[in-house]
A and B are shown apart, each in its own frame.
Chain A
């Protein structure tokens, strides 16, 4: 028997019992729609979380820090990472530090796309009566490019390796500057400090210890008052786009070229220890300036843990979002499973409906099945005819259910627009569409299997019996 004829017979017998077929399909429609909508809610949650993570510094970045042997290293402020765990795997007393050679070694690790050194220092900026302490981070131009910062018009990245130019985050002023007369911040009184980072000169103080000491009028061990440190006028090369309250992982920092910063720091602290840098046992500075941190960009998320382990094996501190993400994913997966389970119940009910319809149909058609058996329809063909009927119910129900799901999903997203997530609460990816369709069909076939086998085993004698 040809497959086409078989399908034709299945369809015509479904068509013969229109109302019952439609009711059974309706069950599948509701079942499919509830599963798809429920899963789409879970996926929407997942997507929103991923978008959030992306905002917090990406999914493929590992932060690497040196290890000062036993101690947890030196002070780290304003790191871009949001780490759940901070695990240093090295117990050796030999300190591991990040210099240019170390950066080179890191960039040689397999599946590492790029390594950006980070040299971070706290600086104090002054303009008029406003004063603010903020993080100045020196890094490479590539690293800044990879951050995909949005800049205001006329701004550029600090490309010069000799002349120090600074790119300010859009919340540097609102976050860090205060009025030196009343010591009030923007977030305390809502008055925006009148600081123009682009057009007016900003004085920068790099030696903040000396600044505080002189400001509060302390004396050194010899009883002499501290001298006020030198102030430098540093040009800005731009400001990031965004309002004073548009926070992101980079908005409250200032960025500059790492080479230019090294030059500047060496010039300022001639022979003295730069704050935050390691020193020899005699309290003398090293010849080289070590980086506080390096951002290792991995080619793909799946290599994250592997690369992280290698770096830890080298004796560095390495942390990333991956642990956090793994946890978050696990929790959102369990939410998805719970939601999907609720939907599955109604599809299960629909499956029982299909089985029931098919059983009824077989009882009604006992004689007909007997006749086609007597006329020489092969047993597997009979089974397949009934399976095809059940599969049709599943398939049509699934297809209509999907259309319904898309409508419900659109309505949910419209109603909740802007309430929680930018990305929408409900999200139906293509794979979900296809899987749902296939699943509905398989559910149909599985629930039709027992009735179909039963039909196959019916005795042909039923046809001969005269009632």
Chain B
């Protein structure tokens, strides 16, 4: 079954080594992984395990010391910064832990921001942002600034912003790290629902085993190495749909 699906992300023999003074820290120590289209994966590990480095590498925010990252057939490790920016704009959506909405813009404009970078006309991009905000359940907060919304609402805007560009992959870095547990569950549910509906690929990094459990597959990472891959597809697939 898994072999038939299309691989969206492939990491081959990935190393990231930081020099701290004389000593060298291996943040990633030979990671291989494959993520398929339409999959919801989570990468779990304690802090310092290399999970964030892993995400940065996959999203093209950092260059690996050694190894390959292939996304949609393109080698990220060979791109320069301009190409990476263009790649992210066209193929990737991001959800941040601290939401990272722009304080000067209201919810609608925040969601439309990535479209602005694509050069989409104002009317068109605001209409798209409207639709996205309806989808994440914030039809009444479109004109609100980030400081007029709760954390959960802000993260919904964040989710909408990640989805609005219709990305092939969505990366989420501790998306519920700043939320209480009830809201966390809500946001997780929302993310999962939308990803399913739109058949999108979501890669989430977290240190919380419970939250990681929402995913189809769970990569456990310790000291820069993937030690265990849990597959929930069979167990939970029906229940979630």
Contacts and interface: CB of A to CB of B under 8 A. Distances in A.
A70 to B, nearest CB: 80
The 7 closest A-B pairs by CB, nearest first: A376-B89, A371-B100, A377-B117, A375-B114, A376-B88, A12-B104, A376-B117
Interface string B83-101: 0011011101010111010
B119 interface: yes
Interface of B: 52, 55-56, 59, 61-62, 81-82, 85-86, 88-90, 92, 94, 96-98, 100, 102-105, 113-114, 116-119, 121-122, 161, 165, 173-174, 177
25 contacts: A1-B116, A2-B119, A2-B121, A15-B104, A372-B102, A374-B59, A374-B94, A375-B89, A375-B161, A376-B86, A376-B88, A376-B89, A376-B92, A376-B114, A376-B117, A378-B85, A378-B86, A379-B85, A381-B117, A459-B61, A463-B96, A463-B100, A464-B52, A464-B61, A466-B174
Nearest to A466: B97
- Name, among A367, A374, A381, A466, the residue most crowded by chain B CB atoms within 10 Å (CB to CB): A374
A376 B61 contact: no
Contacts of A372: 102, 113, 117
Given A375-B88, A461-B61, A5 B102 contact: no
Interface of A: 1-2, 5, 12-13, 15-16, 367-368, 371-379, 381, 459-461, 463-464, 466-467
Determine chain A's interface SS by DSSP, over half rule: helix
A376 B85 contact: yes
A7 to B, nearest CB: 12
B85 A368 contact: no
Nearest to A461: B61
Given A376-B114, A461-B56, A466-B174, A371 B102 contact: yes
Nearest to A464: B173
Contacts of A12: 104-105
Contacts of A368: 100, 102
A466 B98 contact: yes
Contacts of A1: 116-119
B104 A13 contact: yes
B113 A374 contact: no
B98 A377 contact: no
Contacts of A461: 56, 61-62
B108 to A, nearest CB: 14
A16 B61 CA distance: 29
B95 to A, nearest CB: 11
A379 B82 contact: yes
Given A376-B90, A463-B96, 6 more contacts: A371-B102, A375-B161, A376-B114, A379-B82, A460-B61, A464-B52
